[in-house]
């Protein structure tokens, strides 16, 4: 039993760690499946896994492997062959349940159907993926790109600008004080780290502010660096997006295609002769010079005598050909932008405010659009500190690319991390069927509709452990052990949102709460269970003790070890909760 001493005004106070004992439910389960015996065999562990934990595929050999792995993981292991043959004693069983890699709450493998078109999936999406900090003055680097890929992010955004000498391409947040990084460095890092976490496709979204010559240079870079990893269609546009399964270990480019325009020769304009089109007099846009494509009669009305004109493609043909997912922002009415016309699929980008307006006035049109097309939502421009917004409004309307500042911070980012713990953390989560279905009268899901309760989740918080290993003795309180409590809440559609909180356990590094909460869910498919441990402080803001976020649709029933993470979403080495989940 460990003890801790604190010096207070010249004298010492001594606190002992309370002895960690199995909760009553753990004891009950142990004796039930051992038939009252003092050791749990591999076959009895298998029965516990199948009947109590609902892991129906568990075999005796799986259970034997669990036991051997557990016994090998014990510090200063002196287990004898005879002890290994007997199996797990009660304390062994208790400590086994506390191991997240053997008894975690989330399915660890890809288990969704990965053969549907990309539009059928929520995709782990980054915004301004190259920024190390804020949106105005932070450094641009490939480091946050690498970190995002290592986490499992599948959509990387790069803003492309000419360098100062106009002969190379930089990545930076334009018209700010952010320092640039070379595009070629980012591309090489993407190639090296694209599939370390997930084999499913990486989509690079480009915000293109380049001249035609530099677009051609980008095409050359992309082709040379990625080689056969690069996927692009043979035709002009896709009638349907390919599936994640068909694009394994492939890289896909998405951006706005370069514009075609009319080049004119020998144009007479009120007595002036302009040679080689309008390039000499018009400002060049991000995609090259733009002109109005008017009929001859319109041009005659403006007293313009066109002697000769022809349609040419000035943008680099290779660059255009490499764009698999054609992107754009709404022009004209939002309803027109959301209209599903023809056989071509596309990507539409909306700011978080534009999405909120669309959800209010055109909610079902958004859902219908996202059944075949991709919708990307990005943070509003005033989020200069790289904060994020609430993602559920996008997910509820079928938006596949809810783009987040992964270098940011805060509870919204915790939700994003939690959502993509689903499906083996591969970065692609199959959308719920209700978002993809069309009714007998061609109707689609209406996010505004009031729904009935579909599922009830019971969550029991038994206890926590590991803070004394991951934090200093004086981290939470200089003079006594911490006073922990746990907050549990559902984040999802408004009807499902509810918060619960345990009592405060005073002066204890291994708090035992043993409290149960019940949550009724109308849309469990999109619900996230957020868990936050805090340390009560009577005079200041309560200290942070760890957090996690679990997709409800992925939670495995039974008694589970739940690892906690720091504010940045990095896993704490030792801190875990023991919890029970039940669906009724």
Residue positions annotated with a catalytic role: 127, 173
For residues 521 and 503, what is the distance between their CA atoms, to the nearest angstrom? Answer: 24
For residues 564 and 100, what is the distance between their CA atoms, to the nearest angstrom? Answer: 10
Helix (H, G, I), strand (E, B) or coil at 275: coil
Answer whether 480's CB lies under 8 Å from 6's CB: yes
- Pairing relation of β-strands 125-126 and 455-465? unpaired
For residues 423 and 413, what is the distance between their CA atoms, to the nearest angstrom? Answer: 18
For residues 569 and 548, what is the distance between their CA atoms, to the nearest angstrom? Answer: 8
- Pairing relation of β-strands 251-255 and 202-208? parallel
For residues 533 and 114, what is the distance between their CA atoms, to the nearest angstrom? Answer: 35
Answer whether 522's CB lies under 8 Å from 454's CB: yes
For residues 427 and 5, what is the distance between their CA atoms, to the nearest angstrom? Answer: 46
- DSSP bridge pairs for 114: none
Residue whose entry in the numeric block shows the structure tokens 């018009």: 282
Any residues with CB less than 8 A from the CB of 481 and at least 6 apart, and which?
A: 4, 15, 17, 507, 508, 509
Degrees to nearest 5, angle at CA 369 with 334 and 287: 60
Tokens of 40: 């749990």
Tokens of 350: 């909306």
Task: State the distance between the two ends of the chain, measured CA to CA, in whole angstroms.
Answer: 39
Q: What are the phi and psi torsion angles at 539 (to 5°)?
A: -110, -20
- Is the C-alpha dihedral spanning 427, 428, 432, 436 positive or negative? positive
Answer whether 200's CB lies under 8 Å from 247's CB: yes
Answer whether 109's CB lies under 8 Å from 165's CB: no
DSSP assignment letter at 508: -
For residues 271 and 266, what is the distance between their CA atoms, to the nearest angstrom? Answer: 11
Answer whether 444's CB lies under 8 Å from 438's CB: yes
For residues 482 and 17, what is the distance between their CA atoms, to the nearest angstrom? Answer: 11
- DSSP H/E element including 64: helix 60-73
For residues 16 and 162, what is the distance between their CA atoms, to the nearest angstrom? Answer: 63
Three-state secondary structure of 367-415 = HHHHHHCEEEEECCCCCCCCCCCCCHHHHHCCCCEEEECCCCCCHHHHH
């Amino acid at each position: 039993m460990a003890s801790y001493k604190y010096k207070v005004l010249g004298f010492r106070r001594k606190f002992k760690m309370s002895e960690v004992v199995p909760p009553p439910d753990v004891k009950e389960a142990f004796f039930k499946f051992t038939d009252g015996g003092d050791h749990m065999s591999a076959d009895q562990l298998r029965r516990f896994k199948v009947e109590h934990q609902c892991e129906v595929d568990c075999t005796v050999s799986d259970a034997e492997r669990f036991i051997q792995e557990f016994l090998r993981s014990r510090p200063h292991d002196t287990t004898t062959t005879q002890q290994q043959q007997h199996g797990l004693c009660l304390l062994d069983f208790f400590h086994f349940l506390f191991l997240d890699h053997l008894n975690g709450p989330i399915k660890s493998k890809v288990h969704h159907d990965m053969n549907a078109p990309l539009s059928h999936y929520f995709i782990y999406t980054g915004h301004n993926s190259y920024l190390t900090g804020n949106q105005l003055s932070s450094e641009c680097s490939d480091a946050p790109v690498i970190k995002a890929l290592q986490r499992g992010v599948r959509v990387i955004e790069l803003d492309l600008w000419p360098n100062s000498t106009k002969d190379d391409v930089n990545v930076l947040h334009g018209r700010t004080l952010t320092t640039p990084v070379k595009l070629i460095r980012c591309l090489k890092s993407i190639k090296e780290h694209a599939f370390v976490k997930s084999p499913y496709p990486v989509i690079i979204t480009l915000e293109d502010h380049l001249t035609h010559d530099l677009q051609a240079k980008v095409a050359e870079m992309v082709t040379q660096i990625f080689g056969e990893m690069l996927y692009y269609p043979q035709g002009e546009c896709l009638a349907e997006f390919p599936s994640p399964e068909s694009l394994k270990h492939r890289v896909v480019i998405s951006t706005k295609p370069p514009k075609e325009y009319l080049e004119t020769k020998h144009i007479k304009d009120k007595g002036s002769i302009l040679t080689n089109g309008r390039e000499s007099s018009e400002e060049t846009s991000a995609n090259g010079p733009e002109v109005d494509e008017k009929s001859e009669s319109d041009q005659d009305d403006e007293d313009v005598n066109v002697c000769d004109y022809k349609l040419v493609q000035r943008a680099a043909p290779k660059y255009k050909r490499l764009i698999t997912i054609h992107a754009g922002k709404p022009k004209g009415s939002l309803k027109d932008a959301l209209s599903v016309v023809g056989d071509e699929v596309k990507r539409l980008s909306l700011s978080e405010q534009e999405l909120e307006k669309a959800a209010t006035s055109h909610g079902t049109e958004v859902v219908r659009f996202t059944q075949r097309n991709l919708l990307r939502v990005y943070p509003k421009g005033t989020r200069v500190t790289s904060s994020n917004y609430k993602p559920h409004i996008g997910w509820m309307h079928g938006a596949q690319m809810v783009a987040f500042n992964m270098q940011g911070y805060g509870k919204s980012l915790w939700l994003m991390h939690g959502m993509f713990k689903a499906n083996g953390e591969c970065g692609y989560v199959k959308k719920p069927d209700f978002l993809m279905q069309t009714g007998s009268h061609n109707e689609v899901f209406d996010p505004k509709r009031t729904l009935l309760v579909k599922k009830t989740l019971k969550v029991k918080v038994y206890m926590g452990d590991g803070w004394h290993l991951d934090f200093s003795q004086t981290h939470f309180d200089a003079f006594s052990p911490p006073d922990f409590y746990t907050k549990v809440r559902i984040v999802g559609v408004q009807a499902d949102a509810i918060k619960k909180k345990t009592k405060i356990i005073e002066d204890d590094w291994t708090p035992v709460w043993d409290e149960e909460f019940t949550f009724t869910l109308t849309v469990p498919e999109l619900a996230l269970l957020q868990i936050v441990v805090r340390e009560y402080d009577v005079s200041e803001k309560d200290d942070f003790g760890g957090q996690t976020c679990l997709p409800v649709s992925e939670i495995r029933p039974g008694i589970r070890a739940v690892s906690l993470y720091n504010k940045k979403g990095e896993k704490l080495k030792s801190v875990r909760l023991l919890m029970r989940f039940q669906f009724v």
